[in-house]
Structure 1
Amino acid sequence: MKTESKRQTNISEERDTLWIIDQDHTTIRFFAKHLIISKISGIFKSFEGKVKSVGNDFSTAEIEFKAEVKSLDTGKKERDTHLLSEDFFKASKYPHIHFISTSIRRINSKEFEVEGDITIKDVKKSILMNVHLGGITIDPSGQERAGFSMSAWVNRFDFGLNWNNVMDTGGAIVGEKIDIECDVEIVKRN
């Protein structure tokens, strides 16, 4: 297995190719444990992102992504309202979640580890994402596209998302670990 050492991806002028996230063909999901026995999931409906790379070499990529917090949807309006409130995201004060890559390590031709800084509320922390390149193709209208699946996790307490109640059995109603899974399609712009 070929690996490349981590390197900073901060020399934008070397990157000649711009890719934009296609919102219509991208899903940003999150999962939290509920009562320790099951998971509750949600999505973000409004987001934007871009990738700069040297040609189609994604090991050279710079990635920037922003999600609108108020667009979160767990399928239950009351829960969404609670998540947007002062108990969790404080969406009126902190309207976005922001991610910027800091390094990429190629595992093989389809697998990468992407390290970056995620900012939730006013807290910035480094996270590691496992990324799988599904492929690159030309769509029926002649646009070049690339598809990826990604996974990561964060500890919500690290970002001040501290609300919780404890059950009589001692377990928390909402788990502290939040799993993130994304299926992302990007479109080449130049």
Structure 2
Amino acid sequence: METTVKTKWKLDPVHSEIGFKVKHMMISTITGNLNEFEASVETDNADFKNASFTFTANADSVNTKNKDRDNHLKSADFFDAEKYPKISFKSKSFNGDTMVGDLTIKNVTKEIALDVSFNGIVEDQYQQTRAGFEITGTVSRKDYGLTWNALTEAGTIVVGDKIRLGIDLEFIKQ
């Protein structure tokens, strides 16, 4: 019986980013990042199909370049980072274009589908093999209990429900 050997890939955090965008008052877009995160991949083939991806981020590492807003996002109104310090994702399937997996925020787990562009594999100047991915998707923050909102005097909601994800990941073969 033939045994398949899994290749492990470790995240290169210097060349990776977890970003998001959300509407503010439905007229502008606020961007942010999760600055502290880890990810890994295990695969048994060069195109990464059916690879297993895992990801965790520290909820209190949210950064929107505004300290007051960041503190509000870390509070119980949103991430409740003290009680739920980790955001996690574990893939269930990856066909080369779409990754399906479980996203957990505030102890709420929902299956999501993400669009993936596999940017290929290269060997760097240090003979390390690297693989790059661009991942996008949209999630509803309300699905994860991030329900805080307010209305302006004109009746406009302050924070949109849909969160657009923009994730760039670079991995180094182990």
Give the TM-score normalised by the residue count of structure 1.
Answer: 0.88
Residues 116 and 133 of structure 2 are in contact (CA less than 8 Å); yes or no, is this contact kept in structure 1? Answer: yes
Aligned to 2:91: 101
Task: Please provide the CA RMSD for this pair.
Answer: 1.1
Alignment of 1:60-99 (within 5 A): 60-99=50-89
Alpha-carbon shift at residue 169 of structure 1 (Å): 2.5
Residue 124 of structure 1 pairs with residue 114 of structure 2:
no
- The share of aligned pairs that are identical, in percent, is 41
Q: Which runs of structure 1 show a deviation greater than 4 angstroms over 4 or more consecutive aligned residues?
A: none
Letter in 1 for 2:154: T
Per-residue CA shift, 1:60-114, capped at 9, x if unaligned?
20010001111111001010000000111110010010000011223xxxxx100
* Structure 1 gap ranges (5+): 1-12, 107-111
- The equivalent residue for 1:37 is 27
TM-score under structure 2 normalisation? Answer: 0.95
Aligned pairs for 1:1-12 (under 5 A) are none
User: Which of residues 6, 16, 27 in structure 1 aligns to 2:6?
Assistant: 16
- 1:113 match: 98
Q: How many residues align?
A: 172
Q: Distance in 1 between matches of 2:18 and 2:58?
A: 11
Please tell me whether residue 135 in structure 1 is matched to residue 120 in structure 2.
yes
* Structure 2: unaligned runs, 5 residues or longer: none
Q: What's 1:144 paired with? A: 129
